[in-house]
Chain A
Amino acid sequence: MTIATRELRASFAFVERNFNLTKRYWGWEVAWLVYSIAAALAVAFIGVAQDDPGLLQVLVIGTIFWNYLSIVFGFIGETVTWERWEGTLEYTFMAPIRRYTQLVGSTFFAVAYALIQMVIILVVMILFFDLEFTGGNFVTAGVFILLGSLSFVGVGMMAAILPLLYVERGDQMVFVIQSIILLFSGVYYTTDVLPEWMQFVSQFSPGTYVLNGIRGGLIHGTPVTELLHNVWPLVVMGIVLIPLGVYVFGIAERYAKRTGKLKRVG
């Protein structure tokens, strides 16, 4: 068996395991899905209340795609936390697999899970609201989902080291990062309504470019070629943050082994 086949099989271990966990926690899965749908509808109804179809589109896109991106980020960021909760962290870290194999497996599952939930919420939105995306450029939306996934995987990998370094507080830090990205990325508004300093910070959030790109494509029908100023930051973030995330994760793992933090159960 080649190393690649072996690592691929091992990365499938995480996909299958997470799928089995999702099955076993199906009650929670239903609860979270209901909450996500309710939250998306509640936000979208603000647009209805304002009798503003443009606002409705901005809100629907924001809520659906933020849900997708935050799931991808959360799943990867909580890779270590899950194992701590279950008490399996040492077992997984003792297995003869590369750390990127684990992160790749977690990423595959996160993206698949988030896509399924995104489609369900989208269908519900279409059933509730008279959404008009005629003239929308769906290729642009697809490209930005892909690029957004890569950049959020990178940020998620960087965040995943926090629960390794800080046993008690790491997961809370991941949650705070997620909240900050939500605030600064213009999920329910465009970033130009933010105070100047917040607009400056929003340039560093991949969410800003993903949502700008998807809105540009779906609402205004803008092709990707005219949105390159939103494309390149995402490409750079993906290219830099993913390998950097794996590298930094390795450093954090060595630190955890030196200080005995793998043992601690959260």
Chain B
Amino acid sequence: MIQVMNESKTTPMRAPARQPLRRVGPPPPGEQPALLIEHATKRFVVGRKRKSVVAVNDVSMSIRRGEIYGILGANGSGKSTLIRLVSTLLTLEGGRVEVFGHDVERDEMAVKQLINRVSVDAAFFKKLSPHENLAYAARLYGLDARSARAEAIQILARLGIGEKRLSRPLEQMSRGMQQKVAIARALLTSPTVLLLDEPTTGLDPRSKLDVQTFIEEVRDTHDATIVLTTHDLAEAERLCDRIALINDGRMVAEGTPGELMTMVERDYGKEPTLESVFMTFTGKSLDDDVDEDKDDD
């Protein structure tokens, strides 16, 4: 089902749906969503004048187990704040967030066991090797460091990183390789909800392709629900079962890529591309998106 949000009012719109290959769309009644966000709101007080800024404004979404759910938006639109709310790194001002029925604030430790996040900047101890970083991650998540090491070797081999590279400091690796290690680290803990916050931003085309292929592989081989934020519309179209468009902290549209493209063609007479969808609902072009890169998400 496609949804276009207008202020706080939600107007479901009928549109010819793309035939889904897997279970796509909001969970039917009775099925527990992998991730449930209801009226999530987050404000920050910024600057010397202590101005209140609403980063996430009454956002709701329900994501089904096994889905890849994309969150598209310009820089500063609130995507990463939303991911941080799910990751228990921020507290909510209003609304609620649940991961498989566990409230992120009341049942924080259970949520932490179920999730993992890959951020745009691969957060590593750069002087340490991938092995040392992965051993640290394994111990934090209560895994056996030795078996985690064996699994990491396997995962990284699939990503094209040989065992020889794993003992050198991460700072000697390209950003693409670092990001692959970050994804391997996240998978090591077998998260049921994997939060990928712009995992391919800043990567060269080859590394981007490798990472995208790997995400598809993860979708097909792991029982993981993936939430992906991205600026890359082609990436969103390729990987995501459903997409939410976020603008100025609000969700302005939601649907499968096919549904959204069909809608802009049918209702707005525009070319059926995700770029048109993006511009129609956010009023911003991709160039604006790049210019606003200074702001925090």
Residues of A within 8 A of B (CB): 1, 6, 9-10, 12-13, 16-17, 20-21, 24-25, 86-88, 90-97, 254, 257-260, 262-263
Contact = CB atoms under 8 A, between A and B. Distances in A.
Contacts of B41: none
B90 A12 contact: no
A189 B109 CA distance: 49
Q: Shortest 5 CB-CB distances between A and B: which pairs?
A: A13-B139, A96-B112, A95-B140, A24-B127, A91-B123
B124 A88 contact: yes
Given A13-B140, A94-B112, A96-B113, A262 B132 contact: no
A97 B137 CA distance: 11
B84 interface: yes
B136 A17 contact: yes
B128 A94 contact: no
A38 B90 CA distance: 46
B203 to A, nearest CB: 18
A230 to B, nearest CB: 39
B139 A16 contact: yes
A209 to B, nearest CB: 36
A10 B91 contact: no
B139 A86 contact: no
A263 B84 contact: yes
A101 to B, nearest CB: 9
Contact of B89 (A12, A16, A86, A90): A90
Interface residues of B, number: 33
Given A94-B87, A96-B109, A257-B90, A17 B124 contact: no
Interface centre among A16, A90, A94 (most CB of B within 10 A): A94
Contacts, number: 87
Given A17-B128, A21-B125, A24-B169, A9 B142 contact: yes
A165 B127 CA distance: 26
Interface of B: 44-45, 81, 84, 87-91, 109, 112-113, 115-117, 119, 121, 123-128, 132, 135-137, 139-142, 169, 296
Given A90-B123, A263-B84, A257 B140 contact: no
Nearest to B125: A86
Contacts of A90: 84, 87, 89, 117, 119, 123
Nearest to A86: B125
A1 B142 contact: yes
A24 B123 CA distance: 17
A258 B91 contact: yes
Given A17-B132, A94-B117, A96-B113, A259 B44 contact: yes
Given A20-B128, A88-B124, 6 more contacts: A17-B128, A88-B123, A90-B119, A96-B109, A260-B44, A263-B296
A92 B127 contact: no
A94 B90 CA distance: 10
Contacts of A97: 140
Contact of B142 (A6, A20, A88, A257): A6
A90 to B, nearest CB: 5
A86 B132 CA distance: 14
A24 to B, nearest CB: 4
B131 to A, nearest CB: 9
Given A24-B127, A259-B44, A13 B136 contact: yes
15 contacts: A13-B135, A86-B123, A86-B125, A86-B126, A88-B123, A92-B140, A95-B140, A254-B91, A257-B88, A257-B89, A259-B44, A259-B45, A262-B89, A262-B90, A263-B84
Contacts of A13: 135-136, 139-140
A96 B141 CA distance: 6
B123 A95 contact: no
A103 to B, nearest CB: 14
Contacts of A94: 87-89, 112, 115-117
B152 to A, nearest CB: 15
Contacts of B116: 94
A25 B115 CA distance: 32
A63 B64 CA distance: 62
Nearest to B88: A94
Contacts of B142: 1, 6, 9-10, 96
Contacts of B81: 260
Contacts of A17: 125, 128, 132, 136
B79 to A, nearest CB: 14
